[in-house]
Structure 1
Amino acid sequence: MVDIDAAGGLATGALIAGAVEKPGGVAGDEHAGTFSDCGEPTTANFCANCGQPTHVHRTLLHLGEELLHGVMHFDARIWRTLPLLVANPGRLTREWIEGKRTRYVSPLAIFLFTVFLMFFALSFGGAALMPTETRSVDERIAGTETAITNLRAQIAEAETRNAADSPGAEGARAGLQAGLAGAEAELQALKEAKASGPRADGLTVGSWQASMADMAHNGNIRIGLGDKTMQEKILHKLANPDLAVYKFQQTTYKFAFLLVPMSIPFLWLLFAWKRGFTWYDHGVFVLYSLTFMSILFMLLGVLGRMNGWLAGFLSLVGALAVPAHMFAQLKGTYGLSIWSALWRTCFLLVFCLLVSTLFLVAIVALGLGA
């Protein structure tokens, strides 16, 4: 089922993005009189002074047309912007900074629309990040028992070998032992859950939601964030995992814009000693980069629902696309050499990890601790 809040957020984001683009409207064939905004005489389809179209529509049909236009597309410029964003992000960023803007969608508009579209897609198709368990408890017990049998066979085989003949064999055996202990603990928990019957809270026995709720109730989750009151609020929401995931998603897309001001100072640090680059340049870079990451995240979310080696291969390609895109955008935007772009890409990846961590902490505090 489509999330109504997410659908509303998508429409709002598209309309905000359309407002940022400042569409010129549709001009008619009337050229008589004066423009209503500034009083200048009409001489063409648009006013040279204020940009208002000559013919001002006053029909309900045109109001609907503007709504659809804002939600569905940014006219032909989107088809010139997206290919460059993927294949040559440095050129796109550089041309926008240099003032060649009429052919492209603005970085702020495309960022807003893409972020809202991403979370709408996640709400429509379900959160690909969270595990979905469709097997019954009996099926999970049988699968866990099979895994335990295989692990015991692997341990027995490893113990018959001479550790000296295989470097790292001792560590491999320790890993197998740890895996066996975890599987046995999971099997015990599943059997206890089955014996206890249906849960009073309505959660599926043996599901990740049930495990999360139990850990929250039993105090097995440690929250080192904020004061005691905030920690209690977070634990209370985690006791209802589906609601917690919903709140987390909603808060994330509502405050996604915070990634921009959080990222710009770190990018500035990479060029603090170089003249000719302004904070505006870094802002354009961040907006286009985050737009690409949002599109990539949507694609990976779709691939996460596929099975087979192709899905794994494409997911690996998607993961490698992140540093490759950063490298290409840095090199093209700032006119860097290969070495300069390479070491800045390494630092930028570290900065992205730091910003993402800070952002997630803020989202947890805002969404679950409120």
Structure 2
Amino acid sequence: MMSHGKVREDKTCLNCGHQVEERFCPHCGQENIERRQPFYFLFTHFIEDFTHYDGQFWGTVKNLLFKPGKLTNTYLEGKRQKFVPPVKLYIFVSFITFFVFALFPMVNIGSPKEGNTQEQSKTNLLKIMSPVGKQKLIDSIKAKKHVTAKDSLTIEELKAVPDSSELEDMMNMDKKIDPDVSFGEYKTRKAYDSAKAKNPSSLSFIEAPIVHKFFELKEKGVKKKEIIAGMIEKSFHNLPKALFIYLPLFAFFLWVFHSKKKWWYFDHGIFTLHYFSFLLLTVLLIFLLSKLTGLTDFWPINTILYLTISFLLLYTMAYFFIAHRRVYRAHGLVSIIVGIILFSINFIAFMFLLLGLALISFMMIH
């Protein structure tokens, strides 16, 4: 790698004190550049340090996406310099994923144009149906010397039109939590608390906060659409965190189902880091493709995008079985059976983790 940092005139290494004839210290390897650099150097140095300009990064990404298990096998064989190290790869992919998620909120995925059009139509409709405007129109018709049958019909129609405030309530009624909606058999928080005080359950410490939040949102009149959109967005943005939390557990399940003599927990950890890096990249690609579907109404392009997303989802599931067989080198049938068991256990456990994050997201809605 060749950095753009300015080389120091002093040839004494700042790190170990040895003489530096060229750019790098022959003793410790530190680059002999000035201690202070322009602010942008922090970012350019990070990118340069990661990509190396020698194809290491792009070679790593290519093998990660298209050659399941290749990176793990290469690393476990001791070839550590050929590709980006597993931990560094996972951290970098996580950083990019979080960064993109922060730049592009998820709530507009689908058809933002349609939503804006509906909101604009609604605004125009309310302006037309305002009480003052409606009364002025009625008075102007009545002021005519000769009121026709058509004018009379117009007056009747205007009188039948609800006021703007009533109309807005009608239009939003289906989006709000119905006042009659209950949590189980309880219609109010007071009724729930009273019943649980008489007959407490062992899971009340989990259930009670959720119920209280439900009735709190019900009292505030929070819209259903806002609740669902908020939960989906928070859960999707929490996915990288969920994967990070699940890393050691995934490696543990691999350790349980494979020979303890042949495979160490460290080996399973390397496989897990590579697989989860792939998952994050796939989630990122699906996210970006989903955003693109909302930018065009041209159906052939959207069809291609949706087909690509579907393929990526299927490939994500198949990827695990391919990588598992190539790394652990089990016989075909044994590999498939163990792979199915591992995939099922991890899928169920991860769904529980996502459910927990969804509940946390629900509790954070204001």
Report how many aligned residue pairs link the two structures.
286
- TM-score using structure 2 length: 0.63
User: Structure 2 CA distance, aligned partners of 1:217 and 1:119?
Assistant: 40
What displacement does 1:225 show? 8.3
Q: 2:254 aligns to what?
A: 267
Structure 2 partner of 1:232: 212
Asked which structure has the greater CA Rg, the reply is 2
Superposition pairs for residues 126-165 of structure 1, below 5 Å?
A: 126-127=105-106, 134=114, 136=118
- Could you tell which deviates more after superposition, 25-34 or 262-271? 25-34
SS of residue in 1 equivalent to 2:29: coil
Quote the Cα distance in structure 1 between the aligned partners of 2:7 and 2:95. Answer: 36
Structure 1: where are the runs of 5+ without partners?
A: 1-22, 140-193
Structure 1 position 108, deviation (Å): 2.1
Say whether residues 1:67 and 2:17 are aligned partners.
no
> C-alpha separation between the residues in 1 aligned to 2:332 and 2:107?
36
In structure 2, relative to structure 1, the CA distance for the partners of 1:129 and 1:30 (3 Å cut) is closer
- Distance between the aligned counterparts of 1:369 and 1:267, measured in 2? 33
Partner SS state of residue 40, structure 2: helix
Q: 1 CA distance for matches of 2:204 and 2:48?
A: 43
> 38, 48, 52: which one pairs with 2:16?
38
Deviation at 1:228, TM superposition (A): 0.9
> Does the 8 A contact of 1:114 with 1:291 survive in 2?
yes
* Equivalent residue number for residue 106 of structure 1: 85
- Deviation sequence 1:190-231 (CA, Å, 0-9, x none): xxxx9952249xxx738xxx64x5169934589998241254
Q: Does 1:93 align with 2:72?
A: yes
1:295 Cα deviation (Å)?
A: 1.8
Equivalent in the alignment of 2:172: 205
User: Structure 1 82/359 Cα, relative in aligned 2: closer, same or farther at 3 Å?
Assistant: same
Contact persistence 2:106–2:233 (CA under 8 A)? no
Q: Which runs of 5+ in 2 are unaligned?
A: 122-163, 186-202, 294-298
Q: Aligned in 2, Cα 1:94/1:38: closer, same or farther, shift over 3 Å? A: same
Relative distance call for 1:244 and 1:65 in structure 2 (3 A) is same
Distance 1:224 1:217, change over 3 A: farther
Secondary structure in 2 matching 1:218: coil
- 1:53-110 deviation per Cα after TM superposition (whole angstroms, max 9, x unaligned): 12334222xx412313436882132111011001213121111223322232222222
Distance 1:259-1:334 versus aligned 2 partners, 3 A rule:
same
AA in 2 matched with 1:326: F
Q: Tell me if the contact between 1:40 and 1:49 (Cα under 8 Å) persists in the aligned partners.
A: yes
Kept in 1: contact 2:11–2:21 (CA 8 A): no
The one-letter code matched in structure 1 to 2:82 is: R
Report whether the alignment pairs 1:79 with 2:66: no
- Counterpart CA distance in 2 for 1:232 and 1:46 is 63
Residue 339 (structure 2) aligns with: 345
Post-superposition Cα deviations, 1:244-301, rounded to whole Å, max 9, x if no partner, equal 4554455444554212123111222221x35221111111111111121222223333
Alpha-carbon distance change, 302 to 52 in structure 1, aligned in 2, over 3 angstroms? closer
SS at match of 2:279: helix
Residue identity in the other structure for 2:89: I
The corresponding residue for 2:143 is: none
User: Distance in 2 between the 1:102 and 1:315 partners?
Assistant: 33
Structure 2 CA distance, aligned partners of 1:44 and 1:72? 19
Matched residues in 2 for 1:348 and 1:84: separation?
Answer: 23
Give the secondary structure class of the aligned counterpart of 1:121: helix
Please report how far the alpha carbon of residue 303 of structure 1 lies from its aligned counterpart in structure 2 after TM superposition: 3.9
> Contact 2:7/2:34 (CA < 8 Å) preserved in 1?
no
Secondary structure of 1:89's counterpart equals coil
- TM-score calculated relative to the size of structure 1: 0.62
Q: Are the aligned partners of 1:81 and 1:104 in contact in 2 as well (CA < 8 Å)?
A: yes
Asked if 1 retains the 8 angstrom alpha-carbon contact of 2:242 and 2:354, the reply is no
Asked if the contact 1:34–1:41 (Cα under 8 Å) also holds between the matched residues in 2, the reply is yes
Identify the residue that residue 258 of structure 1 maps to in structure 2.
245
**2: CA distance between counterparts of 1:270 and 1:264?**
10
The equivalent of 2:311 in structure 1 is 317
The one-letter amino acid of 2:311's match is V
> In 2, are the aligned partners of 1:122 and 1:128 still within 8 Å (CA)?
no
**What is the CA–CA distance in structure 2 between the aligned matches of 1:27 and 1:122, rounded to whole Å?**
31
Residue 50 of structure 1: CA displacement?
3.4
2:177 is paired with a residue whose SS is helix
Shift of 1:130: 6.6
- What percentage of residue pairs aligned between the two structures are identical? 18
Task: Give 1:335 deviation, angstroms.
Answer: 2.6
* Cα RMSD (Å): 4.2
